[in-house]
Structure 1
Amino acid sequence: MRSSSVRMIGASCSAAAREPGSAVNTIAEPHMTAADFNNRVCPKSIFFWNPLLLSLLVVTRQHILRFTARFNRLQNRGRKPPPHSLSWESYTNIMEIQAFFQIFSGFFELGSNCYPLLRECLKSRVPKKITFFYQKPLGSWLFRVILPDIMKFIPEQLDPITRRFVETHPGGSAIEVTSRGQQLRYLLTALLLLLLLKFRWDYFLFFVTAFLMFWYAAAVIFRGGAAVLSWFGRGEEIITDDEVAALSDDELPVYTVFLPLYHEANIAAKIVRNMGKLDYPKEKLEVMLLLEADDSETREALARTGLPPYCRVLTVPDAPPKTKPRACNYGLSQAKGVFSVIYDAEDAPEPDQLKKACIAFRRDPEKRVLCVQGKLNYFNSRHNLLTRLFTVEYSTYFDLTLPGYQLFNLPLPLGGTSNHFRTDILRKIGGWDPFNVTEDCDLGLRIYEYGYKTRLINSTTYEEANSQVWNWMRQRSRWVKGFIQTHLVHYRNPFRTMKRLGVYGAFGGFLAVGGSAMMMLTNLIFWAAMLLYAGLLLHGLFAGVPLLDQIVGPRFDTAYEGVRIGHLTLKAWPLVYYGTGEDPFWSIFSQIFFAGSLIMFLANFIFIGIGVAACVKRKYYRLIPAALLMPFYWLLISLAAWKGFIQIFTKPFYWEKTKHGLTDNIEPCKEETA
């Protein structure tokens, strides 16, 4: 089936290229620019198959090499090269090519550089061996699942460390956003829902609403239960000051600190100062400042600060993808420490954190604890309302939610920093996934999958909370995108996941990662539905209809007509509603709708209560008023979640850089009192 489909596509493309008036032949004209292509081909291709054939155009490595050779010949002869041209090396950029391949990659813009390439490639027949193809939304959506695997040559373009991770984790890296099986499942589900929407829209509403309500409620109950459990239990390793004081420098091992930096010249001095505050023998401390090859500003700023002997700058080779986990993997390959930890540029860990981590590892003689997670919080919580809300959220997550996951004995999605590891075992499992934009979350699930454990300790690292809304949105959308990536990677085959994690661990990991992302996405939908319903109730009240009559509802329609919007008439949906045809289906659906709305309404109060409890536990009493506003903060989270969800299709590996140094330097405080 597959080969016949490819032959059919190839024959159609070749025939279209020979036809004088075809759209394909049009773009083979010698001096057509990208703008000409857009204006003359895309809008005027009325016939359905013309844009579809364009979207399925097959291109091989040989085509690109021939195009590059022609481009070089033109340069050598002194002639002007084709407009918007790129070299072969540019076309093999993994960030562009990978996003180029995704099933829903129609929104991704490689740029006008692809048009001269297309013109050149259309001069020859479609080859039999497919390496990769130019795709538009329709073609990639409908036909990606029947074409051969086009990703196998990608590892050849990567650096050795990244290539080794991809090769040793087949199907376990985010380099492949969705597997073919996932694409087929999602495509079939979408087609079934579309058919259901066309023929029984009422059943479509029923199933979609019930599905979203169920998982939303499950995620809320799961996170709420974890918070309650950790409030009454102890989900972290308590290490006393006496234990820390009893440690001698001679018994401490070499400790490596990974500090991935990119465009952090403005806080270079602060970085070095914070590392100097660590209470650890400096002769046993190895601080790796991991810089990208093109980041000369940070390199010069660090040189001006005068680095101490225990700090050294490592330049990460310039290769795709340019992400934090890839830089950390490069540092891991050269680390000398028995233990290692990752910190972000603005981090200010408590001075004794490394010693506490050593004690936590020492408590595990069987070496089953691979990771020790320090808590995270913010030193600029009082800067503005956004930083207050952000601090309440972090206090909830690291002081209540994650300890609850540990008590449940479930996979822990790690925080992005203050992760302490046994260096040799971390190398053994491959380090971080360079293509995952929340590599910490992915690593937390892999630790559990390999049979190792993660433990939290009573030590805090203070960071800088985003004080600007757009900068916060960029960071949060990346986090949600990474959670979705992690879910797609670890749940490609649900049965295989259950075999590796166990049914209990697989279900818990699903709720902690995929369920959290789904909750953030659906929160906006449910809020919109609730606000619409509240508006309809108010309209009915002003029209003289009692509130109880609107909610419980008469069996038959009354004189109240509701709100007219064009040809639509809307009014509050009653709890018991049989419709004009006395169909019991509508009564069941209305009750599910009300149950879900009630859960969503109560969920906001649950999160308010958890936020207040987190403030009390950390003694952040002045942040309790901000905790009362958490439902509005969740709306902001939902907006950022949709931004990250869209980027899964458009920019799956794009690392949105978080700007640091936006707040004046504030020394971290350990507690606040009323």
Structure 2
Amino acid sequence: MEAGQVAPRSMLGALAEAGRIGRPVEQVLAAERIATRAEVLSAQARHFGAIVLRRAEAPPDPDLVGTLPPEFCLAHGVLPWLRLGETLVLATARPERFEALLPLLPADIGPVMMALTHEADIQDELAERCGAELARAAETWRPEQESCRDFNHAAPAARVMAGLCGALCLALLVVAPVALFGAALALALASLIVAQGLKLAALVATPNRPPDRAAVTLPRSPPRVTILVPLFREAEIATTLVTRLSRVTYPRTLLEVILVLEAEDAVTRAALARTELPPWMRVVVVPPGPVTTKPRALNYALCFALGDIVGIYDAEDSPAPDQIDRVVARFAEAPADLGCLQGILDFYNPRANWLSRCFAIEYASWFRILLPGLVRLGFAIPLGGTTVFFRREALEDCCGWDAHNVTEDADLGLWLARAGWRTEMLPTVTREEANNRAWPWVKQRSRWLKGYVITWWVHSRRPRALLRDLGPRRFAGMQMLFLTTIVQFTLAPVLWSFWLFFAGLPHPLDPYLSQDALVWLTALFLGAEATALLIGLAAVARTPHRGLMPWVPTLFAYYPMATLAIYKALWETVTRPFYWDKTQHGHSAPDGPGADLPTDTG
């Protein structure tokens, strides 16, 4: 104010906001753009009687990098900058916490003097000097016995067993093809029955009416929230993303959005360089490594995150404006064992074509019926890759994401349950872009299914430990959910073969199936279709897309695409288990103005 940089009226507003959210006023000034970060830093320097250090003007001494671990520096916002004789000049971005930090320093560090710098300068310097080390830690944070990174290094016994199973199937195909077909049919029918029973149980368990949209009351001292947004070759969507995330109503002082880019992604970096980012939004670049996956990028970015709650959005996401407020309010009132909140995903382009309509119906069934029902049944659920929020301690307790798993979200959902953390569905919606081109849809679905196969293998390779961690009920639920998904799509052609009967054509099992058996099979198939129809209609009724109801019966022609995807997934499971088949966004605009702004609660 004395320097004329902030008007008294603006300062009063900033002081009121600082008191309301329990944060230092200088953070409010910078986050709300009342003053620049440079102006705030200069005022802090006068207040604390400390010098200001800027990386561009006086770079830190590289010989001091190892004085403190990079993880410690990032967590506390400090950096050993230079030595003046025996005195270490320790730059900090949080001067109000400097005195409390001193007892945490090593005893042999010597005299310490405080200097001030920007948090960005500390993080940029550590990323440059220690980025490769932090990236390696991000790849291996999850212990090897809990990771899939040894998937392509199977033990000799496992290789022998797989070879014997393959040889047995080939032998049966040559010697007794009818027996092989009959065994496949029995497995497919059992999977179909279990899957439909699980879906009906979830439907019954789902609340009949969605919750009312009550007003949100934040806790007295709201926590800082970090949103991680991994981007890769997203030049078309980058600018729109900034606009959509700017709609959120959570206090800017308490919000941190990190746009996570890969070092090789020059296209997205160039697009963001042309975009003016608000003070609460910044970029973290992930160093190159042996794998380029979303979970590796998330683990790396988490090192630079300051939030007590960590959320994930995808590049094309458009969350409800009050979504983060609702997340914070729910975590504040919930028991301490609530580790994760999963929001509802919906699409802003469901009317683009037939594929997007069917995709929207499928998403409505999954996020509005099946997942809520499975949660109420007490099962562990596979998480979605976006609109998912964690207590930071829960995320760290599970060692983050498996950097090699291409469905890191489903895997993490199970590890949270195994570690004793609960997951709830939160009735708040994020709209995103439906993948509505046939081959890109198959590629995306094949990655999801490959991840399901690998995730099931990771957790089931030590069945006794899984049973001990989950208990019998959730153990059975996990097996039913994952195995039926894999088996149903893989063996779907066996069930399709029964169209030969209905068309009056010869079938391999003609001599073995009586008329009564055909009647029962027909009833089973019709019951499965009726279940899908019932769940689809119930799910669409909970969305703003009521016009999709006439399209629900066409799902019978939609799901066969997933069978093509599972064969691609199984091939890649053997040949390229860690390959991330990237889905490109920005190809389908919202159906109309405002279609990307959620207004329903789910």
For Structure 1 versus Structure 2, the TM-score category normalised by the shorter chain is: 0.7 to 0.9
Q: Counterpart of 1:41? A: none
Q: Is 1:633 equivalent to 2:602 in the alignment?
A: no
Q: Among 214, 222, 226, which residue is 1:252 paired with? A: 222
* Structure 1 pair 618–203 and aligned structure 2 pair: CA distance change class (3 A): same
Q: Among 385, 408, 414, which residue is 1:445 paired with? A: 414
CA distance in 2, matches of 1:469, 1:213: 28
Give yes or no for contact 1:179–1:492 (8 Å, CA) kept in 2: no
How far 1:251 sits from its partner (Å)? 2.1
Give yes or no for contact 1:209–1:593 (8 Å, CA) kept in 2: no
CA distance in 2, matches of 1:228, 1:410: 15
Instruction: Count matched residues.
Output: 465
Which amino acid counterpart does residue 462 of structure 1 have in structure 2? R
Which amino acid counterpart does residue 241 of structure 1 have in structure 2? A
Q: Counterpart of 1:656? A: 581
| Structure 2 counterpart SS, 1:270 | helix
Q: Among 213, 234, 241, which residue is 2:214 paired with? A: 241
| Structure 2 counterpart SS, 1:617 | coil
* Structure 1 pair 412–600 and aligned structure 2 pair: CA distance change class (3 A): same
Q: Is 1:616 equivalent to 2:591 in the alignment?
A: no
Q: Counterpart of 1:422? A: 391
Give yes or no for contact 1:403–1:456 (8 Å, CA) kept in 2: yes
Which amino acid counterpart does residue 386 of structure 2 have in structure 1? T
Which amino acid counterpart does residue 624 of structure 1 have in structure 2? M
Which amino acid counterpart does residue 319 of structure 1 have in structure 2? G
Q: Among 403, 426, 430, which residue is 1:457 paired with? A: 426
* Structure 1 pair 374–598 and aligned structure 2 pair: CA distance change class (3 A): same
Which amino acid counterpart does residue 212 of structure 1 have in structure 2? A
Q: Is 1:362 equivalent to 2:335 in the alignment?
A: no
* Structure 1 pair 663–398 and aligned structure 2 pair: CA distance change class (3 A): same
Q: Counterpart of 1:227? A: 203
1:520-669 equivalences under 5 Å are: 520-527=489-496, 529-536=497-504, 570=506, 579=511, 586=512, 595-596=520-521, 598-665=523-590, 666=592, 667=594, 668=596
Q: Among 206, 209, 214, which residue is 2:182 paired with? A: 206
How far 1:670 sits from its partner (Å)? 4.2
Q: Counterpart of 1:393? A: 362
* Structure 1 pair 450–178 and aligned structure 2 pair: CA distance change class (3 A): farther
Which amino acid counterpart does residue 616 of structure 1 have in structure 2? A
1:177-576 equivalences under 5 Å are: 177=152, 179-180=154-155, 182-232=158-208, 238=211, 240-242=213-215, 244=216, 246-247=217-218, 251-365=221-335, 367-527=336-496, 529-536=497-504, 570=506
CA distance in 1, matches of 2:341, 2:507: 54
Q: Deviations over 1:389-438 (max 9, x none)?
A: 11000001000000011011001111110110011220121111111111
CA distance in 1, matches of 2:167, 2:428: 50
* Structure 1 pair 587–478 and aligned structure 2 pair: CA distance change class (3 A): closer
CA distance in 2, matches of 1:359, 1:184: 53
| Structure 1 counterpart SS, 2:480 | helix
Q: Deviations over 1:22-81 (max 9, x none)?
A: xxxxxxxxxxxxxxxxxxxxxxxxxxxxxxxxxxxxxxxxxxxxxxxxxxxxxxxxxxxx
Give yes or no for contact 2:135–2:300 (8 Å, CA) kept in 1: no
Give yes or no for contact 1:274–1:349 (8 Å, CA) kept in 2: yes
Give yes or no for contact 1:410–1:509 (8 Å, CA) kept in 2: yes
Give yes or no for contact 2:500–2:507 (8 Å, CA) kept in 1: no
Give yes or no for contact 1:608–1:631 (8 Å, CA) kept in 2: no
CA distance in 2, matches of 1:261, 1:421: 20
Give yes or no for contact 1:174–1:485 (8 Å, CA) kept in 2: no
Give yes or no for contact 1:437–1:478 (8 Å, CA) kept in 2: yes
How far 1:172 sits from its partner (Å)? 3.2
Q: TM-score, normalised by structure 2?
A: 0.72
CA distance in 2, matches of 1:596, 1:222: 19
Give yes or no for contact 1:259–1:344 (8 Å, CA) kept in 2: yes
CA distance in 2, matches of 1:497, 1:247: 37
| Structure 2 counterpart SS, 1:456 | strand
Q: Deviations over 1:2-21 (max 9, x none)?
A: xxxxxxxxxxxxxxxxxxxx
How far 1:523 sits from its partner (Å)? 2.4
CA distance in 1, matches of 2:348, 2:149: 33
Gaps in structure 2 of 5+ consecutive residues: 1-131
* Structure 1 pair 319–592 and aligned structure 2 pair: CA distance change class (3 A): farther
| Structure 2 counterpart SS, 1:241 | coil
How far 1:617 sits from its partner (Å)? 2.0
CA distance in 1, matches of 2:424, 2:291: 30
How far 1:210 sits from its partner (Å)? 1.3
Which amino acid counterpart does residue 311 of structure 2 have in structure 1? V
Which amino acid counterpart does residue 631 of structure 1 have in structure 2? F
Q: Among 176, 184, 188, which residue is 2:151 paired with? A: 176
CA distance in 1, matches of 2:406, 2:294: 8
| Structure 2 counterpart SS, 1:346 | coil
| Structure 1 counterpart SS, 2:541 | helix
User: Which one is further off, 187-196 or 253-262?
Assistant: 187-196
How far 1:266 sits from its partner (Å)? 1.4
Give yes or no for contact 1:413–1:512 (8 Å, CA) kept in 2: no
Give yes or no for contact 1:343–1:417 (8 Å, CA) kept in 2: yes
Q: Counterpart of 2:42? A: none
Give yes or no for contact 2:229–2:312 (8 Å, CA) kept in 1: yes
User: Which one is further off, 274-283 or 201-210?
Assistant: 201-210
CA distance in 2, matches of 1:458, 1:497: 30
How far 1:325 sits from its partner (Å)? 0.7
* Structure 1 pair 305–501 and aligned structure 2 pair: CA distance change class (3 A): same
Cα RMSD for the two superposed structures:
2.5
CA distance in 1, matches of 2:388, 2:161: 35
How far 1:310 sits from its partner (Å)? 0.5
Gaps in structure 1 of 5+ consecutive residues: 1-155, 538-569, 580-585
How far 1:507 sits from its partner (Å)? 1.4
How far 1:479 sits from its partner (Å)? 0.9
Q: Which has the higher contact order (CA 8 A, sep 6+)?
A: 2
1:59-70 equivalences under 5 Å are: none
How far 1:639 sits from its partner (Å)? 1.8
Give yes or no for contact 1:524–1:639 (8 Å, CA) kept in 2: no
Give yes or no for contact 2:178–2:509 (8 Å, CA) kept in 1: no
How far 1:532 sits from its partner (Å)? 2.1
* Structure 1 pair 233–518 and aligned structure 2 pair: CA distance change class (3 A): farther
Which amino acid counterpart does residue 235 of structure 2 have in structure 1? A
Tell me the percent identity: 32
CA distance in 2, matches of 1:311, 1:649: 40
How far 1:324 sits from its partner (Å)? 0.6
How far 1:572 sits from its partner (Å)? 8.9
Which amino acid counterpart does residue 233 of structure 2 have in structure 1? H
How far 1:671 sits from its partner (Å)? 6.5
Q: TM-score, normalised by structure 1?
A: 0.65
User: Which one is further off, 336-345 or 205-214?
Assistant: 205-214
CA distance in 1, matches of 2:136, 2:564: 38
1:105-116 equivalences under 5 Å are: none
Give yes or no for contact 1:219–1:515 (8 Å, CA) kept in 2: yes
